[in-house]
């Protein structure tokens, strides 16, 4: 069984990931490098390491290194012969592709993710987290590629999983539940060029249960909505609050 200190380091790395603390994330990953030969015997942990490394490379603008890290994570997950961790990796890759407006990569990964989802024989909470996230990312891709109407069936699917979970859960570095889905829908409404609806939904939510990084993203979505409506003071205040939560906050691409 993998040494407890290594598991603790991976858990700490995920916390830094969700806190948006990239320097601390890099430090933890550097400390894990000497354990890579050991991690190679534990595909799940190796998968997590390269997922986190891929996200860190992306933050630093190292796009080729990001793609390579995600590829290693995919191979490690596939070697487990378990569709759940493979689906998790695919969702991270889709999220990254959509972040950088690579609809072609997102479309290909969505097809692969759907195959992984179909291979699931049980739907415990961690599987529902991934399936719900798959529904939302499918909606986001459909919205970008084909328009708002095409996204709605995928949102309905995501909502069913959120209601089934009943509360927020995290699996493989992916957070999902009723609150996270509504926060994501705020972003989607911004993408739909419906800033009034986005701000109305945002006003009904309590973001304090979100990670600092997600809180900052939520504020950014509201800032964009305010900018679309010409509310410069409110826009500036949202940016100020985001910077207060995460001083090194980086904008997410729409």
Q: Which of 176, 207, 231 is the last residue of a domain?
A: 176
191 pLDDT band, cuts 50/70/90, is: confident
Examine residue 187 and state whether it is found in any structural domain, yes or no. Answer: no
Q: Which of 146, 176, 206 is the last residue of a domain?
A: 176
The answer to whether residues 119 and 148 belong to one domain is yes
Q: Cα(224)–Cα(57) distance, rounded to whole angstroms?
A: 26
**pLDDT value at residue 186:** 96
Written in H, E and C, the secondary structure of 163-182 is HHHCCCEEECCEEECHHHHH
Is the pLDDT at 4 greater than 70, yes or no?
no
The answer to whether residues 153 and 94 belong to one domain is yes
Are the C-beta atoms of 200 and 166 separated by less than 8 Å? Answer: no
Examine residue 246 and state whether it is found in any structural domain, yes or no. Answer: yes
Tell me what the pLDDT averaged over the chain comes to: 91
| φ/ψ of residue 174, rounded to 5 | -115, 125
Burial 108-144 (b: 16+ CB within 10 A, else e): ebbebbeebbeebeeeebbbbbbbbbbbbbbbbbbbb
Q: Cα(170)–Cα(223) distance, rounded to whole angstroms?
A: 27
Examine residue 148 and state whether it is found in any structural domain, yes or no. Answer: yes
**pLDDT value at residue 18:** 87
> How far is residue 103 CA from its own chain's centroid?
16
The answer to whether residues 56 and 98 belong to one domain is no
The answer to whether residues 103 and 166 belong to one domain is yes
The answer to whether residues 241 and 170 belong to one domain is no
190 three-state secondary structure: helix
Domain count, the chain: 3
Are the C-beta atoms of 119 and 158 separated by less than 8 Å? Answer: no
The answer to whether residues 126 and 170 belong to one domain is yes
Examine residue 186 and state whether it is found in any structural domain, yes or no. Answer: no
Q: Which of 176, 210, 227 is the last residue of a domain?
A: 176
- Nearest CA-CA partner of 193 in 221, 162, 156: 221
User: Domain of 45?
Assistant: 1-81
Are the C-beta atoms of 112 and 90 separated by less than 8 Å? Answer: yes
Examine residue 182 and state whether it is found in any structural domain, yes or no. Answer: no
The answer to whether residues 129 and 163 belong to one domain is yes
Are the C-beta atoms of 96 and 110 separated by less than 8 Å? Answer: no
Instruction: Output DSSP code: residue 200.
Output: H
The answer to whether residues 208 and 139 belong to one domain is no
pLDDT for 111-170, tens place per residue? 999 999 999 998 999 999 999 999 999 999 999 888 888 999 999 999 999 999 999 999
Examine residue 234 and state whether it is found in any structural domain, yes or no. Answer: yes
Q: What is the CA radius of gyration of the chain?
A: 18
Is the pLDDT at 254 greater than 50, yes or no?
no
Examine residue 185 and state whether it is found in any structural domain, yes or no. Answer: no
The answer to whether residues 171 and 212 belong to one domain is no
Q: Cα(158)–Cα(171) distance, rounded to whole angstroms?
A: 16
249 pLDDT band, cuts 50/70/90, is: low
The answer to whether residues 15 and 75 belong to one domain is yes
The answer to whether residues 99 and 168 belong to one domain is yes
**Which CATH number does the domain housing residue 26 bear?**
1.25.40
pLDDT for 202-221, tens place per residue? 999 999 989 988 999 999 99
The answer to whether residues 51 and 103 belong to one domain is no
Q: Cα(190)–Cα(192) distance, rounded to whole angstroms?
A: 5
Examine residue 181 and state whether it is found in any structural domain, yes or no. Answer: no
Are the C-beta atoms of 137 and 156 separated by less than 8 Å? Answer: no
């Amino acid at each position: 069984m993998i040494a407890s200190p290594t598991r603790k380091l991976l858990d700490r790395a995920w916390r830094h990931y969700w806190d948006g603390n990239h320097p601390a994330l890099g430090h933890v990953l550097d400390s894990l490098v000497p354990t890579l030969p050991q991690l190679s015997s534990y595909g799940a942990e190796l998968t997590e390491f390269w997922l986190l490394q891929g996200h860190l490379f992306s933050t630093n603008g190292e796009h080729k290194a990001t793609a390579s890290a995600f590829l290693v994570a995919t191979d490690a997950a596939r070697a487990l012969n378990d569709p759940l961790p493979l689906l998790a990796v695919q969702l991270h890759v889709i999220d990254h592709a959509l972040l950088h407006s690579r609809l072609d990569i997102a479309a290909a990964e969505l097809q692969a993710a759907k195959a992984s989802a179909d291979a699931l024989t049980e739907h415990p909470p961690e599987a529902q987290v991934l399936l719900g996230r798959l529904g939302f990312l499918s909606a986001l891709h459909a919205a970008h590629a084909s328009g708002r109407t095409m996204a709605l069936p995928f949102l309905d699917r995501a909502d069913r999983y959120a209601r089934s979970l009943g509360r927020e859960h995290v699996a493989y570095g992916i957070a999902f539940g009723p609150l996270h889905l509504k926060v994501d829908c705020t972003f989607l409404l911004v993408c739909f060029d419906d800033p009034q609806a986005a701000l109305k939904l945002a006003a009904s939510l309590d973001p304090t249960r979100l990670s600092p990084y997600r809180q900052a993203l939520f504020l950014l979505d509201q800032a964009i909505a305010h900018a679309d409506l010409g509310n410069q003071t409110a826009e500036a205040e949202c940016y100020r609050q985001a910077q207060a939560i995460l001083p090194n906050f980086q904008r997410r691409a729409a």
